[in-house]
Structure 1
Amino acid sequence: MAKAPAGVRLVRKVSSTRLFAKVAPHVIPAMDRAVHRLTRGKVLLSAQMLPGVILTARGARTGRPRVTPLACMPEESGDWILIGSNFGREGHPAWTANLLKHPDAEVSWKGADIAVRASLLEGEERERVWKEALRFWPPYATYQSRITRQIRLFRLTRR
């Protein structure tokens, strides 16, 4: 496998730190939402390093729309994999509970709004996709090593 560019290696290293896990969840989504809104869905700042979507899912408890910018792993099939790493913090991210309760959602992908259905990956399929996710973004291994919960993986398929 080819060596990643220096900038990517630096971001991988920084994103694996505990300080990043503490600060990033408060800063990155807010910046992504603002830039996404200003560019009418065409730009996500975090997508300059990793592909990203804006997920709109109904809240598990409220049923109200919840908008969350997320890194994703696009698949050749046209589906997307979402990784509920929560930056390596304990506790599943809220968006994962939303998808478990309300799997029909929408993503904004490169400026297009697409209706999707989410499915939680389990068993052998989860293990296969997890290995792909680690090749895609190695810091996920650090996130998993810091927590006791198993990071949830979801496949989003167009409806």
Structure 2
Amino acid sequence: MPDGTDRPRTRLPNRRLVRLFWSAHRRVYRLTRGRLGLWRPKDRRWGTMCLTTVGRRTGRERGVIIAYLEDGRNLVALAMNGWADGEPAWWLNLREHPDARVDLKGGSRLVRARAASGSERERLWARWRETEARLDDFAALRSRETAVVVLEPREPVAES
């Protein structure tokens, strides 16, 4: 092998195909008004949620479908951009405005985002590795560490 190992070189999926898949997925979700397109994680498989953030530049709501795992009451996502370099817009938005809403199969909730660090990050990364055998290979293709994003439940603000 070119890198001196016995395993084949990891290649990213075609960027256009990845974007097309997630765009079609989001369209199905919107056209069916949420009846299709979301599923809960189970066994060694991730689920999908619709994450609504506040745009860091526009201040407008932005929705995106992303994969997640459950960790107790928290939801956990990876801030990857189809494994390409650069941070995904939803993560940049959450860093600026950490309060968000998630739509899950069976309901919605308000959340506050933060990046996991230290032993928590290692533990959650290992959980993601159980769902994706090539996780470390894909992550190694990025120039920066992939953030493990923890979405913690928050209580709705009481209106006066």
TM-score by length of structure 1 reads: 0.79
How much has 1:120 moved relative to structure 2? 1.1
The structure with the largest helix share of the pair is 1
Report whether the alignment pairs 1:50 with 2:46: yes
Report if aligned partners of 1:36, 1:42 keep a CA contact under 8 Å in 2.
Answer: yes
Distance in 1 separating the partners of 2:106 and 2:40: 13
Counterpart in the other structure of 2:4: none
Q: Is the radius of gyration larger for structure 1 or structure 2?
A: 2
Partner AA of 2:64 in structure 1: T
1:99-118 equivalences under 5 Å are 99-118=94-113
Q: How many positions carry a matched residue from both structures?
A: 142
Report if aligned partners of 1:82, 1:153 keep a CA contact under 8 Å in 2.
Answer: yes
Match of 2:70 among 67, 74, 77: 74
Report if aligned partners of 1:21, 1:87 keep a CA contact under 8 Å in 2.
Answer: no
Distance in 2 separating the partners of 1:52 and 1:42: 13
TM-score by length of structure 2 reads: 0.79
Distance change >3 Å, CA 111–CA 43, structure 1 → 2: farther
Report whether the alignment pairs 1:88 with 2:100: no
How much has 1:111 moved relative to structure 2? 4.4
Runs of 4+ deviating beyond 4 Å: 45-49
Unaligned runs of 5+ in 2: 1-9, 155-160
Report if aligned partners of 1:87, 1:143 keep a CA contact under 8 Å in 2.
Answer: no
Distance in 1 separating the partners of 2:127 and 2:106: 26
Counterpart in the other structure of 2:138: 143
- Amino-acid identity (%): 30
Counterpart in the other structure of 2:27: 34
How much has 1:64 moved relative to structure 2? 1.1
How much has 1:142 moved relative to structure 2? 2.2
Match of 1:121 among 98, 116, 119: 116
